[in-house]
Amino acid sequence: MQEWQNPSSSEAPKWKQPILGFFHSINYYERLIDPAHLMRFYRTYLFIAMLIQPLLCWGIDLLPNDIVAPLPDKNYVKVGYYGTQNNTYFKNGSVVSSAPYASPVIENPNANLRLVRSYAIGDLPGISYIQLPYGTIKPQGSLSAYPGTTGFGDVGLASAIWPYSNRETRTYLGIAGYLILPTGSYSSTQTLTMGGNRYISDLQVGFQKPIIENLEGMIAVDTMFFGGNSQCATACLSATNVSLTQKPLTTVQLGPVYAINHTYTVGASYIYVAGGATLVNNAYQNNVINTQRFLLSGIAYTDLGRFTLQYGRDMEIKNGFIQTKLLSIGYTMEF
């Protein structure tokens, strides 16, 4: 890769600076129960899965060169669209087709505004941002009887630092921390809400280095930690508020990053997600997440700013509604 192709090079145009990316099934124990209770349990799976659906857009999906250290003292604004579609419901690896799962569809389009500031702590590059999402959850198909919702999602904060950053060898090691605040639209009497009514934190480590010529490799690992929601009523099929908690969720993302020329860069990622089982009033829901996904990404660095595009979907899941489409479009400019 030539020096002008390095997004973090001091020779690179200002639009070629990386902006660290920040983007993220429910079953009771098997037991013999009568049909009325069985339907109640299935409805509980459905409601909790739909309740946590908007939180999936906070999964830490990185764009190409997000692990490359930024130049200090830069201010950016990013506007973006992040939309997902989920359908077929899985329970412990098997398709559930009984009502209301015959043909479920959940659309979740979101608009995001992100303000970014890069800096240096001593000799170490750093970056921080705040992000505000606004979106809609639209149940369709066999779920169309359930009302949708529109509103602001939870505010996200993130900071990253690079303990190792070598621009000559184009080798980078970064550590990032994320915090999601319970500021979004939420009501315990609604099945679907854009806000999660709980704090979420995440710790991520990423590494990127050249393989050959214009081809580089990246890998990132993060673990997400969930606070409790003590006001889960309708979504937890309770007349009064009960407690919803969730175990940590770990994600591994790896893949190649290829610079076509000074304008265009593309990347592909394999993502494995595991953990994240939920508990209602400390009752384990037997709904561990075990998902394999892929993402295809592209970036265009222009005089007008940086344009980004991501497309992906689930390849295999164990519990929940399988994601059949993820589309992310972004525009970043310096100010």
Q: Which residues have CB under 8 Å from 244's CB, separation 6+?
A: 48, 51, 198, 228, 229, 232, 235, 236, 278, 279, 280
pLDDT value at residue 49? 60
Cβ contact 292:304 at 8 Å? no
Whole-angstrom distance, CA of residue 267 vs CA of residue 207: 15
pLDDT value at residue 239? 86
Q: Which residues of the chain have pLDDT under 50?
A: 1-6, 8-42, 53-59
pLDDT value at residue 34? 37
- Tell me the two tokens of residue 249: 């969720």
Residue of 129, 125, 127, 203 lying closest to 164 (CA atoms): 125
pLDDT value at residue 12? 45
- Number of domains observed in the structure of the chain: 1
If phi over 0 gives left and psi between -120 and 50 gives alpha, with beta otherwise, what is residue 43? alpha
* Residue 46 parent element (H or E): helix 35-52
Residue of 49, 54, 108, 103 lying closest to 319 (CA atoms): 49
pLDDT value at residue 38? 36
8-state DSSP, 26: -
Q: Return the C-alpha torsion angle 7, 11, 13, 17, nearest 10.
A: 30
| Beta-bridge partners for 202 | 178, 224
CATH code, domain carrying 322:
2.40.128.130
Place of tokens 């992000």: 131
pLDDT value at residue 138? 93
pLDDT value at residue 48? 60
Maximal CA-CA distance, the chain: 70
> Is 51 strand, coil or helix?
helix
155 CB neighbour count, 10 Å cutoff? 16
Range of the domain at 99: 3-334
Query: In this predicted model, what pLDDT tens digit does every residue of 6-39 receive, in sequence order?
Result: 454 444 444 444 444 433 322 323 333 333 333 4
Residue 160 sits at the vertex; the CA angle it makes with 249 and 293, to the nearest 5 degrees, is 35
CA atoms within 13 A on the CB side of 81: 9
* Residue 289 parent element (H or E): strand 289-302
